[in-house]
Structures are given as structure tokens and as C-alpha cells.
Structure 1
Amino acid sequence: MSGAEPDRANSPEQPWPVRSVAIKVMQWIDRLGSIWVEGQITQINIRPGTRTAFLVLRDPSADMSLSVTCDPELLRRATVPLQEGSRVVVYGKLTYFTGRGTLSLRVTEIRPVGVGELLVRIERLKALLGAEGLFDPRLKRPIPFLPKTVGLITGRASAAERDVLTVAKTRWPAVHFEIRNVAVQGASAVPQILSALAELNRDPTVEVIVLARGGGSVEDLLPFSDEALCRAIVAATTPIVSAIGHEPDAPLCDLVADVRAATPTDAAKRIVPDAAAEAAAVRELRARAAAALRGWVDREARTLTQLRSRPVLAHPLREIDRRAEEVERLRTAARRSAQHLIRTESTAAQHLREKLTAVGPAATMARGYAVVQLVMGKERHVVRSIEEAPAGSQLRIRVADGAITAAALGAKALGPQTERN
């Protein structure tokens, strides 16, 4: 290998010299070949009398840049005048200069990126993010009703900053802001916004973050359609309000943010309530509550008055007296019915007694009949036939007013004629 040490084991005892390392780096870079690179021009330096123009090409989404060299005629022949801030696509080959240890991209073609192409790229990115679900309303986080601390990312001394602070302080004077001033257009805008967003998202006192910028051209608003910024907004844990441009402007960060505000002034109205309006609402609610309470008291008072006017409450003893009279009337009727029933039953019983007496043995004996009983020791039997009382039998003859003790002297049967006599 010309000008370089041959390959050998590398160790503290056998280190590679600088020339070997530089040549190896040059060889590895040379393998990459020619490539297309997109970026934003941040510096153009054309030295008079030289055949080389020096440019700095910066990544729009990261704090990284690359040195570029080209023929000055490429810049002069560009269809669109190239200046610092222009988005371009270049074609060239990376070159590593071993003598200085520097890397440069030698380009042979430069193509400006027009507005139309930028819009097409934004639409493609919009479709990609939409397909991933980053615009899903279910991902939107609610904004606190009354945040104590609001993070504000905006340009330094910008109209957007002034509008947000003025309107928010007017609506709610106690609100506190954590302001991060960043570039809102150009090559350094996205890295600065990402850094400020990450810092405010880590702050536990910040309850909502506002990303604000005034209106501008499509090129000016390009940083707010950057893919890295959109994904950072979705990944943040703090709710984010996007207030970029005016009503017609619609950068992609508006779609991924939790709330889209038409203007910075609208964002201020959304993040804090209006103290005067809230006080008026409280007064109105208090008045409505008082009216409702008075109405309820009036209704209850009328109900009590109606209840008190009812006879049962106005003269409670009157109903008792009426009921007592009714009870007494019912008692009298019951007593009368009972007495009538007793008299009726007593009369019936008397009639039954009379009937029983009339057909009983006492009445029969009173008419001259007697009951003859045969006495045999302690036993007595009614004599129904002459055969039951032979001569000499001891008899007991019961008459109406007592009993006669006698003895049977004899018995004589009676014929039909005798019985009739």
C-alpha cells in the first residue's frame, strides 16, 4: 500500500500510525460512492478568483451539518436563486482529505426543492402518520381547567409571544409562564424546538405546553410539519396546544397536538379561563341557587299551610268527638240489638219450658197419676206390669207432692172393658 504501513495486528506495542488510519478512513468513505443528499443551505461562501464554492448543508430535523464543495457555476446556473435557508437535493461524492483530516461532500448537481414538492412531501408524511394512528382523537389528552404553570415555546420578542402573554394575563392574572425562546424558522428551528419541548415536558410543574408562531409562507412553516417534531409531540406526556400561523395554515403539528388553536390569541383563550366570565358564572349560579332555595321554601310553606288548614289538623279534637259519638251510637245499637236478642231468646226459652212442663211427669202426676217403684234394697225400679210386683213386694208410690211407701197385697189384670171404665 503506497504511503501506508501494511496491515498488521494492532496493540499498544504495535500501534497504527496516523497515516494508516487516515488512509483506511479514506478507503472506507470512498466505498460509499456517489449519493443524493437532502438538506438546507445555512452558509454559502464563494471566494473571488477561485474555482470552488464552499457551502454548509444542515439537516432540518437535527443539529448536524456537512461541508459541501462545488463549482461556483452550479450555484449561478440554478433555476431558482439559492441562498441561505434554501432546501436542496445535491448529488456528489464524499471525500476525506487525509492531510487535514476533514470530510467534505463534492457535489456535481444541485436541485432546489420547490414549494410544490415540499407540499407533496408533507402530504406523504401526513398519510404515513395518519396510517400509524397518530391523529386518532383517542390519543388527545385533556387540558387542565386552570393550569398553574404554562410552558410557552415561541420566537424571541415575537408577536405570538406578546399575544399569548397579554391575553392569558388579562383573562387569568395568576397564571405563570415558563417561556422558551427558539428559532421558529430556518435550519435550526426543529432542533431548538425539540430541545425546548423535551425540557418543558420533563418539568413536573408545567401542566400544558403551547407551541406558538405567527403566520408565514409555506417555507417558513416547514419546521412545524417535521416528522421528528410530530412524533415528539405525540410522545410527550404533557398536553400540547398548537397555535401555528393563522386560520388557513395547517402544519402537521396541528393534527398531532392535543388541541389546535387557530391563532396564538385563540390558544391563550383555550388554556386559561376568563376570570371575569367565571366570576359572572359564579354569581349567576349563586343567584339561581338562592332562587331555587327560596322557591323550595315557598313551596314547603304553602304545603304546611295547606296541611294546617285541613280539618284534621285545624281542629284535631273535633274528629275525635265525632268518632266518639259514632262509637257511642254503635255501642247503643249493639246494646239494643243484644237486649232484643236476649228478650227473644228468653221468650223462646219460656215457651220451651212451658211445653216441657206440660208434657213432663210432674204435670201428669198433678193430674192424679203416680209413679210406682219396686224397692229392692237400695235399688228402685219402675213397675210397668203386675208381674213385676208380686204380693208382698215393697213399693214406693210417688205422687205430685211426695212419695208413699206401701206393700203389694195382690194383683188383678184388667180387661179392655174394665180399662175403659
Structure 2
Amino acid sequence: MSVIDPLPERAAETTPEHPWPVRVLSLKISDYVDRMSQLWVEGQVVQLTPRGATAFLTLRDPEVDMSLPVAVPMNAVKAMPVPLTQGARVVLQAKPTFWTRRGSLQLEARQIRPVGIGDLLARVEILKRTLAAEGLFDPQRKRPIPFLPGLVGLITGRASAAERDVVENARRRWPAVCFEVREVAVQGPGAVAEVVTALRELDADQAVEVIVIARGGGALEELLPFSNEAMVRAVAQARTPVISAIGHEVDQPLLDLVADWRASTPTDAGRRLVPDAAQERTAVTTGRARMVRALTRRVEAERRSLRSLRSRPVMADPVALVRLRRAEVEALRGRATTRIETRIQRADDQVAHLLRQVTALSPQSTLERGYAVVQHRDGRVVMDQHDVGIDELLRVRVARGDFGVRPVASSDELPELSDAPDDGRRDSAPGPSSARNRRKLPAAGRD
């Protein structure tokens, strides 16, 4: 007889060999949910079905696509200060329950209360402050609207008056304007998701140059989707400039603050999208007329100036000014020539004077006065008689040439030669001493 293994007590103890059956899992979930305490939950009623003493409704989160079924006693529904309708925002006290057979979670409500307008406005104000602190409403991040967009993206309700207002007013001003229309739900539980999806599609289209989100007027609850955080952030992230045209002048959802331009009404958005063709045509015509007048005045002023210039004496004889300048140039040229010649003459005189000085101070002039230069064989000049040796060959340079000599005696041995006066005359009959001296002196230029 085989023994059946007991089932694991906890989920962490299950294994492929010891799994939980579905019924056990459902019972475990039911036990866990039953231990939860009552809680208050808020949402939007998207479906309401009364059945006897109980009303069944679907409570949806307005921020995301998520909902839960709720069972509410009809007594609690009838005790509400205002009738419960689809789309209403409510807060209810409920106890979560889990249906083991269907495997579904449901809320069993004890009380249900409507969310007041004051509460909604307070929540919108809190969201407004949060987004403003992040800089989503900063005017510096807003992009300019194109002057004449080639293709306009329009997000609006299906067959709505807002669509007609935008399209007709835009085409009335500029008939050639083109639209890419996305018809979506502009109120109710699916409004936010459909508007965001259409916005992203148009923003991805490179041909769309501006996007308009338009909706007619309505109650505050109907305009709440356009203050939804997901929609506001989607507009802030869009690459294409966005125009908000929601409700009337007094309505101001958060979409108006994050959009690049706010139109007071859909009609105002149609006027802002494109320029008025008639006004532009008038402006062009007026501009052309002003340009023609300005150009005509300028031409007339230039003609008067030319006539005034031609009437001047210098224009009667244009060469007169040239002659005057030519005379000035020739006078300056003559003065320059005279000064240059004077300077050259003075320089010539100075050169001649310096030449005479150099000539007078040159060694050649000294030689021409009867002096001679005596040099050793190595070129040294004889400065002292004691430097000269007997029979040393010396070179004597005179004014016209040179010759060689050899000393035969010192000055001490020839006193008569050094003391005898030189009067430039010779004795007709030289004595023996003179003859002797001539024999001692060798011929000039010979060793």
C-alpha cells in the first residue's frame, strides 16, 4: 500500500516533483486576500449594472489602463448625494475578495462617495505645481508656430464641432491649407490613451509641421483628461509644436500651460494656424506701392544731385582742376630738383676738400717734399740707426721709385758727412777724401 506524499505548505517549498494543484493555489491566494483589511480606493466608474440589491460596476484607474470589478449594495448607491453615472470619479470603502473557482479578484464595497469638484481641483493644482517645478511650463522651452505650415495635424473628437471650427476658419483664411485629422475620444476613460497615441503618430510624421488638440466646451469633469499627467508629459516630449484649443476662454486645463501656444477656442486656433490671405495680399500690395514711392523719391533726389553737380564751375571746365594740380606737381618737382642739385654740389665740394686734405696728409706728399722711407729686407721701417748693420741691404723709397743701399760705416765714423752742409752744389775738383768716399759707396741697387 503506497503512501501519498503531503503537499508543500509554502510556495517556496514547491518543486517540479511536488507542485501545487490549481485549487491549492487558488485557496492559498484566497486565504492571503481574506487576511487583508478594508481599504479606501479611488477610481472612475466605466460600467454600472444594477442587479437587484447589488450594483456591479467596473472601477478604472484614470491614469493607466487598469480596472477591477466591484460589487456595491444598492442601498449605498442610493445613499449617494448625487446619482452614480458612468465616468464619475468615486472613492469607496471595500474589502478585496478572491473567487477561487474563477481565479479573479473583486472588491466588495461597503460605502461609496463621489469625489467632489474641490478635490479634483486640488489634485490638479498639486500636479500643476509639480510639473511647473520640473520646468514643463517654462516659456523658454516653447517653440515658435510656423508662419504657413504645409500640413497641420488635428486631434479632435469624432464628427465634432471643434473640428469644423478649426478646419473651416483656417481654410477661410488660407484655402490651400491641408489637414491630417485624427478622430479620438475626448472624454471618458479612453480619452487620454487615444489622444496620446494620436499625438505620437502625428509627431512621428515628418510632413506635419504643427499639431492642434481641439475640443469644445464642457463640464470640469469632462475636461479632466486634458489635465492628465501622461498627456501633459507627452505634449512636452513632442518634437512638433503643439497648439491647445480646449473648451472656452475660461477653461484652462494643464494642456494649455505645456502647449507651445494656447488658443482660447477652436475657432481661435483656426485663425492662428495660417495667415489671412486677403490681409497678406493687401500687405504685399501696400508694400510694393511703398517701395515704388521710395524708389521714385530716391531716383529724383539723385537726379537733383546730378544737376547740382553739373552746374558747378568745375564741371563746366573739368580740365581746370587737372591743370591746377599739374602746376602744383611741376612746382614741387622743380623745387625737389633744385634741392637735390644743391645737395649734390655741396657734396662734391666736400669730397674735393676731403680729397685735398687726404692728399696733403698722404705719405706720397711727404716723399715729394724730398723725404725717403728706408726699410729692412723684411719690410720693417728703419726707425733707429742702431737697428741698421754694416753692409745690410736696405730699401730706400723716394717719391718716384726706390733703390737699394748698403751702409759702409756708422755715423760716428763719418762726422764730416753728417756735419757737412748740403747746399746743392758740388766741387769742380773733388779732393782725395771725396774720391775716397765715392769709392766706398757702392752703386745704388747693387749688392
Task: Provide TM-score, normalisation by structure 2.
Answer: 0.67
- How big is each residue's C-alpha offset from its partner over 1:354-374, in whole Å with a ceiling of 9 and x where there is no partner? xxxxxxxxxxxxxxxxxxxxx
- State the aligned residue count: 323
Contact 2:7 2:18 in 1 (8 A): no
Shift of 1:287: 2.0
Q: What is residue 128 of structure 2 aligned with on the other side?
A: 126
Contact 2:8 2:14 in 1 (8 A): no
Question: Once structures 1 and 2 are overlaid, which stretch shifts more, 18-27 or 110-119?
Answer: 18-27
Q: What is residue 231 of structure 2 aligned with on the other side?
A: 229
Q: What is residue 418 of structure 1 aligned with on the other side?
A: none
- How big is each residue's C-alpha offset from its partner over 1:178-229, in whole Å with a ceiling of 9 and x where there is no partner? 1111121222222221221222222222111111111112122111112221
CA spacing shift, 1:322–1:90, aligned 2, 3 Å: closer
* Match status 1:173 vs 2:175: yes
- For residues 103 and 148 of structure 2, what CA distance do their matches in structure 1 show? 57
Which amino acid counterpart does residue 38 of structure 1 have in structure 2?
E
1:135-150 aligned within 5 A: 135-150=137-152
1:115 to 92, 114, 117: 117
Q: What is residue 338 of structure 1 aligned with on the other side?
A: none
CA spacing shift, 1:4–1:257, aligned 2, 3 Å: farther
1:304 to 303, 306, 310: 306
- For residues 37 and 76 of structure 1, what CA distance do their matches in structure 2 show? 19
- For residues 235 and 272 of structure 1, what CA distance do their matches in structure 2 show? 24
1:7-406 aligned within 5 A: 7=10, 10=14, 14-30=18-34, 32-48=36-52, 51-316=53-318
- For residues 325 and 190 of structure 2, what CA distance do their matches in structure 1 show? 100
- For residues 35 and 197 of structure 2, what CA distance do their matches in structure 1 show? 35
CA spacing shift, 1:318–1:44, aligned 2, 3 Å: closer
- How big is each residue's C-alpha offset from its partner over 1:122-159, in whole Å with a ceiling of 9 and x where there is no partner? 22222222222221111111111111111111111111
SS of the aligned residue for 1:291 comes to helix
SS of the aligned residue for 1:255 comes to helix
Which amino acid counterpart does residue 166 of structure 1 have in structure 2?
E
Contact 2:8 2:18 in 1 (8 A): no
CA spacing shift, 1:288–1:221, aligned 2, 3 Å: same
Contact 1:4 1:20 in 2 (8 A): no
CA spacing shift, 1:319–1:148, aligned 2, 3 Å: closer
Contact 2:211 2:241 in 1 (8 A): yes
- For residues 302 and 137 of structure 1, what CA distance do their matches in structure 2 show? 53
- For residues 30 and 237 of structure 1, what CA distance do their matches in structure 2 show? 49
- For residues 34 and 206 of structure 2, what CA distance do their matches in structure 1 show? 49
Which amino acid counterpart does residue 291 of structure 1 have in structure 2?
R
- For residues 135 and 168 of structure 1, what CA distance do their matches in structure 2 show? 27
Q: What is residue 413 of structure 1 aligned with on the other side?
A: none
- For residues 136 and 165 of structure 1, what CA distance do their matches in structure 2 show? 29
- How big is each residue's C-alpha offset from its partner over 1:225-244, in whole Å with a ceiling of 9 and x where there is no partner? 12221122112221111111
CA spacing shift, 1:93–1:321, aligned 2, 3 Å: closer
Q: What is residue 414 of structure 1 aligned with on the other side?
A: none
CA spacing shift, 1:205–1:316, aligned 2, 3 Å: closer
- For residues 146 and 34 of structure 2, what CA distance do their matches in structure 1 show? 56
CA spacing shift, 1:322–1:185, aligned 2, 3 Å: closer
Shift of 1:281: 1.7
Shift of 1:4: 7.1
- For residues 151 and 100 of structure 1, what CA distance do their matches in structure 2 show? 46
SS of the aligned residue for 1:144 comes to coil
CA spacing shift, 1:308–1:190, aligned 2, 3 Å: same
Contact 1:23 1:98 in 2 (8 A): yes
Which amino acid counterpart does residue 135 of structure 1 have in structure 2?
F
Shift of 1:12: 5.0
Which amino acid counterpart does residue 101 of structure 2 have in structure 1?
G
- For residues 158 and 4 of structure 1, what CA distance do their matches in structure 2 show? 62
Shift of 1:254: 0.7
Shift of 1:278: 1.7
- For residues 211 and 153 of structure 1, what CA distance do their matches in structure 2 show? 5
CA spacing shift, 1:319–1:250, aligned 2, 3 Å: closer
- How big is each residue's C-alpha offset from its partner over 1:252-277, in whole Å with a ceiling of 9 and x where there is no partner? 11111110111111111112112222
Shift of 1:316: 3.0
Shift of 1:318: 6.4
Contact 1:152 1:179 in 2 (8 A): yes
Q: Percent identity?
A: 55
Contact 1:165 1:268 in 2 (8 A): yes
Which amino acid counterpart does residue 29 of structure 2 have in structure 1?
V
CA spacing shift, 1:77–1:241, aligned 2, 3 Å: same
Q: CA RMSD in A?
A: 2.5
- For residues 324 and 141 of structure 2, what CA distance do their matches in structure 1 show? 76
SS of the aligned residue for 2:252 comes to coil
CA spacing shift, 1:216–1:298, aligned 2, 3 Å: same
Contact 1:148 1:176 in 2 (8 A): yes
SS of the aligned residue for 1:249 comes to coil
Which amino acid counterpart does residue 50 of structure 2 have in structure 1?
I
CA spacing shift, 1:197–1:26, aligned 2, 3 Å: farther
CA spacing shift, 1:317–1:214, aligned 2, 3 Å: same
Which amino acid counterpart does residue 281 of structure 1 have in structure 2?
A
SS of the aligned residue for 2:220 comes to coil
Which amino acid counterpart does residue 205 of structure 1 have in structure 2?
A
Segments of 5+ residues of structure 1 without an aligned counterpart are 331-421
Contact 1:4 1:23 in 2 (8 A): no
Segments of 5+ residues of structure 2 without an aligned counterpart are 1-5, 332-447
